[in-house]
Amino acid sequence: MITKLKELMSLNAEMSSEEIELRFTQIAKLLFENFAIQKGEKIYLFKEIEFYFYNKHHRDIITHPRFSESLCWYINDFGGIDFNFSSEICKIDETDSHGKKVKKYILDDSSCFGGILIRQLISEDKHEILEGPWACAELFRLHHAIEQDYNFPILVEHNNGMIGYICRPRLNLLTGKQTIEKKVDYILGDYLSYPDREDLYEEFSNFKDKRYRYLRCDQLLHDSETNEVYLSPWLKDKQEGHPEFYQRLTNLLKNCGIEPIELKYTKDYWVRDYMPIQLNENEFLKYQYYPDYLMKSNNPEDAGTRTECTNVLRGMEINCRSTKLIIDGGNMVPCGPYIVMTDKVFIENGKEKEDAVFKAELESELGHPVIIIPWKMHGDFNACDTDKYGHSDGFVKWCGGNRILMGNHGDQYPEEAAAIRHILEEYGFEVTEMRFADKVSSQRSDLNWAYINFLQVGNKIIMPIFNIKEDVIAWQYIHEAFPDCEIHQIEMAEVAEEGGALHCISWNIRRWSV
């Protein structure tokens, strides 16, 4: 890994801006997943890093000039610590107006220099966070001067498992009311010669908002950590719901030691879609819930069934942060540090699929990297048996670690399923697909898609069954994917025929006060 890192850190004066940015991403992934800083016996993991590099194709003028081999520590002008790229720039001695000798740099086409600013480190045991460049630099201060210091920080290979990250703009490039022109003029005080000043003003403006700050993301809350489950009272409504199923489900949950809780002020029983997502111990995210399958339905009454979760959350003592993005809760499946979503999220927000700017905004709002999987609507939008929802919880379930269980989409649409699987594997996941087509003579594709939409609370799994041949096969898939869980079954064809199953009609969270 050290050899690979050294190769990646060896940037040069001829590299294009695109190649440099690709290197930034490759290096960040490598540092987050495979390296740490060791000081004595203590291990610190990279939590937040910022990239700076200047060459003639990537004139990021905010970068401090330096002359260095790659993989060297560098104390920057503000007292923080950089991890250097290979850097070269011509430097000469000058005499200033006071007769004092000073060193000045010559910024020309042969110049290339930069490094990675360490903004945050976290101890391996998660008990200590060094927040900010100054705190990180403290590791490098006060060391023995006359003997080899065992406590001097060194970069070491360290397997950190599956790590996700998001990218955001760098911090503090301008201070207070400082203008770009004044900032660049101040920087150019270090140089004897340099490119056209006006051009550098424009370059600074172009680089100012580049997403060169990489933040490590911790693992999201897993269903196995949840201990409360909520249902909508609409599920037991005699006219609009399924009261007999509701009774069977609540009895089953109680027999599992789980006391279901009723939500208030709901307008339908698909609670997963409008309730906030719990990202970690104390963080919930509320989003705009305006799904097209309600708002654009031919039935004018559908729009009136849209639940406003702000009303539901009253009195629940759950604090949420909000985003203005349009999202469905069923289209967010936490998988390690990632959130898996179908590309329908682009459509709902009026964006073109693969819009990189929107995806960056989405990740910034969620605070976690997003894996986008393809989705295609098969059939007429207003047909009752058409999947117009595009929810990822109808495709995948995280099994912990780097394992994902995937539904049987491949039985009907093998090319689409292969594309989904390929994307997940590119992120490092091991994917097991449910398949029934080669195991039963006449599969029930109208129902067997729903097995993946099971509910897990702690070590208890409630899975749907339909009294069909696929029931036993699905149980085996889930049992092998979750060997430490108790698996309970419930017949629910009447609900699944409406396009959802157990995960869709429930909302499970972790209450840390319990």
Q: How far apart are CA 116 and CA 53, in angstroms?
A: 9
Q: How far apart are CA 68 and CA 84, in angstroms?
A: 7
Whole-prediction pTM value? 0.90
Q: Where in the chain is the domain with CATH 3.10.300?
A: 2-217
User: Above 70 in pLDDT, residue 418?
Assistant: yes
Yes or no: say if 300 and 262 are a contact pair by the CB < 8 Å rule.
Answer: no
What is the pLDDT of the chain when averaged over all its residues? 93
What value does the mean pLDDT take over residues 478-490?
98
Yes or no: say if 320 and 357 are a contact pair by the CB < 8 Å rule.
Answer: no
What value does the mean pLDDT take over residues 197-215?
97
Place of tokens 């960040």: 28
Q: What DSSP state is assigned to residue 169?
A: P
Q: What percent of the chain has pLDDT over 70?
A: 98
What value does the mean pLDDT take over residues 197-214?
97
Does 513 or 342 have the greater pLDDT score? 342
Yes or no: say if 267 and 234 are a contact pair by the CB < 8 Å rule.
Answer: yes
pLDDT (tens digit, 9 = 90+) per residue, 486-505? Answer: 999 999 999 999 999 999 99
Q: How far apart are CA 1 and CA 9, in angstroms?
A: 12
Yes or no: say if 39 and 103 are a contact pair by the CB < 8 Å rule.
Answer: no
User: Above 80 in pLDDT, residue 41?
Assistant: yes
pLDDT level of residue 514 (50, 70, 90 thresholds): very low
Q: Which residues contact 480 (CB under 8 A, 6 or more apart)?
A: 432
pLDDT at position 385: 65
Closest Cα partner for 278 from 334, 326, 210?
334
Yes or no: say if 425 and 418 are a contact pair by the CB < 8 Å rule.
Answer: no
pLDDT at position 116: 98
pLDDT level of residue 512 (50, 70, 90 thresholds): confident
Phi-psi domain of 385 (left: phi exceeds 0; alpha: psi -120 through 50; beta: other): alpha
User: Above 90 in pLDDT, residue 146?
Assistant: no
SS3 92: strand
pLDDT (tens digit, 9 = 90+) per residue, 179-195? Answer: 999 999 999 999 999 99
Yes or no: say if 58 and 112 are a contact pair by the CB < 8 Å rule.
Answer: no
Closest Cα partner for 412 from 430, 392, 397, 434?
434
Yes or no: say if 107 and 195 are a contact pair by the CB < 8 Å rule.
Answer: yes
Q: How far apart are CA 77 and CA 176, in angstroms?
A: 19
Q: What DSSP state is assigned to residue 64?
A: P
User: Above 90 in pLDDT, residue 302?
Assistant: no
Q: Where in the chain is the domain with CATH 3.75.10.10?
A: 223-509
pLDDT (tens digit, 9 = 90+) per residue, 318-374? Answer: 989 999 999 999 999 999 999 999 999 999 999 999 899 999 999 999 999 999 999
Q: Which residues contact 445 (CB under 8 A, 6 or more apart)?
A: 411, 412
pLDDT at position 305: 86
Q: What topology does CATH give the domain 223-509?
A: L-arginine/glycine Amidinotransferase; Chain A (3.75.10)
Q: How far apart are CA 317 and CA 187, in angstroms?
A: 50
Q: How far apart are CA 402 and CA 405, in angstroms?
A: 10
pLDDT at position 324: 96
Q: Give the full edge-to-edge strand order of the sheet including 277-280.
A: 277-280, 283-288, 320-326
DSSP letters of 191-224?
EEE-S-HHHHHHHHHHHHT---EEEEEPPPPPGG
Q: How far apart are CA 443 and CA 343, in angstroms?
A: 28
Arch. (CATH architecture) of 2-217: Roll (3.10)
Q: How far apart are CA 323 and CA 276, in angstroms?
A: 11
Q: How far apart are CA 471 and CA 448, in angstroms?
A: 8
What value does the mean pLDDT take over residues 66-77?
91
